[in-house]
Amino acid sequence: MRESIRKAKRIVIKVGSSSLTYQNAKLNLGRIDKLIREIVDLKNQGKEVILVSSGAVAAGQGELNLVERPQTIPEKQALAAIGQGILMKTYQKLFSEYGQKVAQVLLTQKDLTDRKRYLNSRNTLNQLLQYGVIPVINENDTVAVEEIKFGDNDTLSALVSSLIDADLLIILSDIDGLYTADPRKEPTAKLLSRIDDISHEIEALAGDAGTKRGTGGMITKIKAAKVSTRSGIPLIIANGSLDNVLSQITQGVEVGTLFLSQEKLASREKWIAFNLDVEGQIVIDSGAVKALLEKGKSLLPCGILDSKGDFSAGAVVDIINQEGDSLARGLVNYSQREIEQIKGLHTSKIKERLGYQDYDEVVHRDNLVLMS
C-alpha cells in the first residue's frame, strides 16, 4: 500500500498551526520555507499540490504579541482578519522565490453545502491546477461563525480532497501519527503504522484536543480520515517537523499512520454524505436494514419505526437501526411531521393518511448513501 502512494498525482497537504508557528504564535519561517521547498519539489516531479493551511488566527495573535489565544468569537475573527493577510503574503513571497505561483481560496461550509457553489468550487480549483498554480486554502474564519467556533482544517482538507478527487491526503501535525495511547502521557504507547478500518476502538484512541495554537486534535484527524477514506482517498498523518517528510511519504517510506481508502463514492453521494448538515434521524426495523444494506432498495414507510428532529422535506437525515448505529444518510421526500403519520404503513396507504402522495419512498435509493 505504501508503494501505491508513490503513484499519487493529485495531493492535498494540510498543515496545522503548530507546524507553522512558534510557542509565542510568531511564524516559524524556517519550517515554512522547508515545507515550501518540499512542495515545490513535488511540483517539479509533475504532481499537483493543494495546500490547506491553518495559522491565520495564530499569525494574528503573534502580530499583536498576545500571550494567550483569545476565546471569544469576535476576537478570533479579528485575529483571523489580521493573520490571513500575513500568512498569505509569506506563502506568496516564499513560493515565488522557487518560481511557483499561489492562489488564496477561502471557503466556508456553505460553499460545500449548496450544490451549485460546491460544483463551482470544484471547477475553480481544477482550473487553478490546470494553470499550474498552487491553491492555498483556509476556512473563511473572519465571517464564518460556526466554522471558527467548531470547525477545523483537518475536516476541511478531507472535504477538499473529496471535492477534487485527490489521490492522497497528507495531514502534517506535531505528532508522529495515531498511537495506541497518548504518547505525551503514556511512554509505552506504540505508533500504529496502518489502519485498515476506522472502528469504534480506533476512534476511542483519539484522546483530547490539540495544542493551544490550533483548533484540532487527533479527534478531528480521525473524522477527516473517515471522510477521506470513504471518498476513496488514502490519508497519512505525519509529523511536520520531520526532515523531508513529504518526500519520504510520496516515495513510499513508512512514515506516520496510513489510513487505507475504502470503496469510492460517486460525486453526488459524497456531497450528500459529507457536505450537508444532518437535521434528524430515522429509525428503521430489521427488514428495512436488510433491504437497504443487502438489496440496495429505497427506504419505504413500512420499515420506519421512529423519526427524530424537526426537519422538512429535502433535508438530510441519518438512517439508524434500533441499536442506534448509523447505517445510511439521505435526502427525505417527506417532513418529520409527515413521516410520523405514515411510519409503518404500506406505500398504498400514504394518500389515505396524508390526503396526498408526492412520493412512494421516504428516501429514494438515488438520494441515499450507505455509511457502513
| H or E element, residue 242 | none
* 14 is known to lie in a ligand binding site: yes
* 54 is known to lie in a ligand binding site: yes
* 216 is known to lie in a ligand binding site: yes
Displacement of CA 345 from its chain's centroid (Å)? 38
CA distances from 195 to 100, 248, 256 (A): 35, 19, 11
* 211 is known to lie in a ligand binding site: no
CA distances from 257 to 118, 175, 191 (A): 30, 10, 8
* 167 is known to lie in a ligand binding site: no
* 290 is known to lie in a ligand binding site: no
Using CA atoms in the order 5, 35, 75, 277, what is the torsion angle rounded to 10 degrees?
Answer: -10
Question: What does the buried/exposed string (b/e) look like for 214-229 if buried means 16 or more CB atoms within 10 Å of the residue's CB?
Answer: bbbbbbbbbbbbbbbb
CA distances from 182 to 178, 226, 356 (A): 9, 20, 56
* 153 is known to lie in a ligand binding site: yes
* 173 is known to lie in a ligand binding site: yes
* 220 is known to lie in a ligand binding site: yes
Contact 260, 249 (CB under 8 A): no
- Cell for 1? 500500500
* 218 is known to lie in a ligand binding site: yes
* 298 is known to lie in a ligand binding site: no
- Pick out the residues of the known binding site for ATP: 14, 173-174, 215-221
- Pick out the residues of the known binding site: 14, 54, 141, 153, 173-174, 215-221
- Pick out the residues of the known binding site for substrate: 54, 141, 153
